[in-house]
């Protein structure tokens, strides 16, 4: 995390044992590559601590990581999860990862070459499997580094305030095309590759029905996607350990854990929730590192069209992980006991527009703190006014709501943001139609649409630093039984090179399905015309809105294909084939003051 801290030197050679068959409690064996410290052709006598990564993406791709740790006095174990690549069993995403991970940790700890300490690391699915096994508290788990991982896949990953994240359509198709079965059958692989290549056609053809896509050729993959679609409420399906540690916080393994996330990652909310909740419960250190990164981009300097040079990069990211393991698996004085629990990057304040380039040098700086949100920040409401302004003054009059038609056949397109594995560019972008993104039309700004309501502040006289959670509190109504409302926070740059009319840089967004306004355990359809207070979280952020910029909040009812489109019928989700245009209303008066709540640095 800090370059001045020491860490283990690469003093060993490496011997690799491929495809060790690691047995599980049900008799299935998981293929595991083991990387041992060596001197020439001989293993060095241990025992050593073990660093484990469990992956569905082919353990052979982890060879460089395995060698890195073996050279530095660890045994690295890189494992294919159940049903993937060289491992036995049937793959059904996430379901088996708690027990399988527990058994793996305990088997490794029992080997004569292990000193009884097992640490875990990995990103995305590899992060989810860490939290899954930690939820079952294996005795020999000793440390974790969870990068871009979930807290609850229902609440803020696969679903978001009741809406489905469409990236999992892509995930199901792409995982099927790389399945063990497809690799063994050229005809099957050709069918699944073709389906993945025509992803957007399959997405547009929703609702998906059993037996209607090439996933029918791989029943466990099809079943997984259908289960995501059918379990629309927060039921026991989502409480499995593989779907995030939230239900298991009180029994979670108490081991030193570093959480790593990014402001443009799909797991931003989850990363900070895990840090906050487990930090309250654990006796061992829990730290978090939040950079300006997209999913899978830890240490990078750019997110979308935005550059965070010179300070946004983290070139020594692997050293950061090594220091953590040195401290807590080897008891070396790596300096972690002196590090503050929170290190985060505040985006903004850079050089801005560049000549002859769409890149925005947004810049930023690193900060540290002991808690999240950091001290010195306070919640502050910014109110939406009927004339399209955004201010800290509440409305003083009763005025009619702003109304718009939301047509599910013509949704607002997704332009960047907190995405992952969805074949859409991730990160920060000017919020306008852009041919790089699916379902866009022309080049007009998104807020030129009739169904996007924009509320914008006056140009800022001083810098405004926003760090922490963001909450939308909207007073809304619809003329049907159900609909969605979206909110997006935007940093508006004044005109500059390559952006002659300015740049509306997306910072954070979210969505909420009206039928879940009172919780996610049950569905409550709306009464046409009735006004509801709808409160939901956006993704947290850390951004400096510099003097001369403007804050903007965009309200609409779709963000597609990041989220599925509500058919507005009130019918069963992901089953109803009908759609209707909804007349939606946003209230912004003295009795119903719609607002967005930001965590602002006090002056």
Beta bridge partners of 426: none
pLDDT at 440: 96
pLDDT at 1: 43
φ and ψ of 203, to 5 deg: -60, -45
pLDDT at 56: 98
pLDDT at 108: 98
Between 497 and 572, name the one with better pLDDT.
572
Please say whether the beta carbons of 259 and 144 come within 8 A: no
Over the stretch 459-506, which tens digit does the pLDDT of each residue have?
A: 999 999 999 999 999 999 999 999 999 999 999 999 988 899 999 999
Instruction: Report if pTM > 0.95.
Output: yes
Burial pattern 405-420, b for ≥16 Cβ within 10 A else e, equals: ebbbebbbbbbbbbbb
The pair of three-digit structure tokens given for residue 215, joined into one six-digit string:
């996933």
Between 358 and 244, name the one with better pLDDT.
244
Radius of gyration for the chain, computed over Cα atoms and rounded to the nearest angstrom: 24
Over the stretch 72-114, which tens digit does the pLDDT of each residue have?
A: 999 999 999 999 999 999 999 999 999 999 999 999 999 999 9
pLDDT at 204: 85
Over the stretch 534-569, which tens digit does the pLDDT of each residue have?
A: 999 999 999 999 999 999 999 999 999 999 999 999
Number of H helices, E strands in the chain: 11, 30
CA–CA gap between residue 123 and residue 80 (Å, rounded): 14
Please say whether the beta carbons of 54 and 122 come within 8 A: yes
Region 2-20: mean pLDDT is 86
At 65, which helix (H) or strand (E)? Answer: helix 63-71
At 157, which helix (H) or strand (E)? Answer: none
Q: CATH 3.40.50.1820 residue ranges in the chain?
A: 13-147+247-369
Q: Which CATH class is domain 13-147+247-369?
A: alpha beta
pLDDT at 603: 78
pLDDT at 3: 45
Over the stretch 415-471, which tens digit does the pLDDT of each residue have?
A: 999 988 667 899 999 999 999 999 999 999 999 999 999 999 999 999 999 999 999
For 147, the 3-state DSSP assignment is strand
CA–CA gap between residue 567 and residue 103 (Å, rounded): 44
> Cβ atoms within 10 A of the Cβ of 580, count?
19
Region 49-67: mean pLDDT is 98
Please say whether the beta carbons of 349 and 546 come within 8 A: yes
At 436, which helix (H) or strand (E)? Answer: none
pLDDT at 199: 85
Over the stretch 498-532, which tens digit does the pLDDT of each residue have?
A: 899 999 999 999 999 999 999 999 999 999 999 99
Q: CATH 2.60.120.260 residue ranges in the chain?
A: 377-601
The pLDDT confidence band at residue 336, using thresholds 50, 70 and 90, is low
Over the stretch 45-55, which tens digit does the pLDDT of each residue have?
A: 989 999 999 99
**What is the rounded average pLDDT for all residues in the chain?**
95
Region 393-401: mean pLDDT is 96
* Whether pLDDT at 337 is above 70: no
Chain Cα centroid distance, residue 511: 15
Q: Residue 164: which residues within 8 A CB-CB, separation 6 or more?
A: 158, 228, 229, 563, 564, 574
Q: Residue 404: which residues within 8 A CB-CB, separation 6 or more?
A: 450, 451, 453, 556, 557, 583, 584
Over the stretch 339-362, which tens digit does the pLDDT of each residue have?
A: 899 999 999 999 888 877 889 999
φ and ψ of 39, to 5 deg: -120, 105
Region 212-230: mean pLDDT is 95
pLDDT at 46: 87
Over the stretch 272-316, which tens digit does the pLDDT of each residue have?
A: 999 999 999 999 999 999 999 999 888 888 899 999 987 767 767
pLDDT at 5: 58
Tell me, which fold does domain 377-601 have in CATH? Jelly Rolls (2.60.120)
pLDDT at 29: 98
Please say whether the beta carbons of 208 and 222 come within 8 A: no
Over the stretch 109-160, which tens digit does the pLDDT of each residue have?
A: 999 999 999 999 999 999 999 999 999 999 999 999 999 999 999 999 899 9
């Amino acid at each position: 995390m800090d370059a001045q801290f020491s860490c283990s030197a690469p003093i060993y050679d490496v011997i690799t044992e491929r495809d060790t068959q690691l047995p599980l409690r049900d008799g299935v064996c998981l293929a595991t590559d083991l990387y041992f410290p060596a001197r020439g052709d001989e293993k060095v006598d241990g025992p050593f601590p073990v660093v484990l990564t469990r992956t569905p993406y082919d353990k052979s791709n982890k060879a460089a990581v395995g060698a890195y740790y073996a050279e530095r006095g660890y045994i690295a174990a890189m494992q294919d999860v159940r049903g993937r690549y060289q491992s036995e069993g049937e793959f059904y995403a996430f379901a088996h990862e708690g027990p399988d991970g527990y058994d793996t940790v305990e088997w490794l700890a029992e080997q004569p070459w292990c000193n009884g300490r097992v640490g875990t690391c990995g990103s995305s699915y590899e992060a989810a499997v860490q939290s899954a096994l930690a939820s079952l508290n294996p005795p020999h788990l000793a440390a974790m580094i969870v990068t871009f991982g979930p807290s609850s896949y229902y609440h803020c990953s696969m679903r978001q305030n009741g809406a489905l994240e469409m990236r999992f359509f892509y995930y199901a198709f792409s995982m099927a095309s790389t399945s063990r079965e497809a690799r063994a059958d050229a005809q099957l692989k050709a069918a699944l590759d073709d389906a993945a290549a025509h992803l957007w056609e399959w997405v547009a053809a929703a609702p998906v029905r059993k037996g209607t896509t090439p996933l029918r050729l791989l029943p466990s993959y099809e079943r997984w996607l259908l289960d995501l679609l059918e379990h629309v409420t927060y039921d026991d399906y989502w409480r499995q350990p593989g779907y995030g540690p939230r239900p298991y916080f009180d029994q979670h393994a108490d081991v030193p854990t570093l959480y790593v996330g990014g402001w443009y990652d799909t797991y931003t909310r989850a990363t900070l929730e895990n840090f906050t909740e487990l930090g309250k419960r654990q006796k061992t250190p829990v730290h978090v590192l939040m950079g300006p990164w997209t999913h899978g981009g830890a240490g990078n300097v750019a997110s979308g069209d935005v550059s965070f040079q010179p300070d946004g990069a983290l070139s020594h990211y692997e050293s950061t992980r090594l220091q953590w393991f040195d401290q807590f698996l080897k008891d070396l004085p790596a300096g972690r006991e002196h590090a503050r629990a929170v290190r985060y990057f505040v985006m903004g304040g850079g050089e801005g527009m560049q000549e002859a380039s769409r890149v925005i040098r947004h810049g930023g700086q690193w900060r540290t703190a002991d808690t999240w949100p950091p001290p010195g920040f306070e919640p502050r409401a910014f109110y939406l006014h009927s004339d399209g302004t955004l201010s800290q003054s509440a409305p003083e009059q009763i005025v009619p709501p702003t109304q718009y038609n939301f047509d599910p056949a013509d949704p607002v397109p997704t332009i960047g943001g907190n995405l992952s594995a969805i074949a859409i560019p991730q990160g920060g972008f000017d919020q306008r139609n852009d041919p790089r993104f699916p379902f866009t039309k022309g080049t007009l700004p998104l807020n030129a649409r009739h169904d996007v309501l924009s509320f914008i502040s006056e140009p800022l006289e001083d810098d405004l630093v926003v760090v922490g959670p963001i909450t939308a509190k909207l007073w809304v109504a619809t003329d049907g039984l159900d609909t969605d409302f979206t909110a997006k926070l935007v940093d508006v740059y004044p005109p500059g090179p390559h952006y002659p009319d300015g740049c509306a840089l997306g910072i954070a967004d979210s969505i909420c399905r009206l039928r879940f306004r009172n919780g996610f355990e049950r569905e409550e359809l709306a009464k046409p015309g009735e006004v509801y207070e709808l409160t939901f979280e956006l993704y947290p952020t850390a951004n400096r809105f510099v003097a001369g910029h403007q804050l903007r909040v965009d309200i609409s009812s779709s963000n597609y294909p990041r989220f599925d489109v509500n058919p507005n019928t009130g019918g069963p989700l992901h089953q109803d084939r009908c759609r209707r245009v909804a007349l939606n209303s946003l209230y912004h008066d003295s009795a119903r003051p719609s607002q967005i709540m930001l965590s602002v640095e006090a002056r």
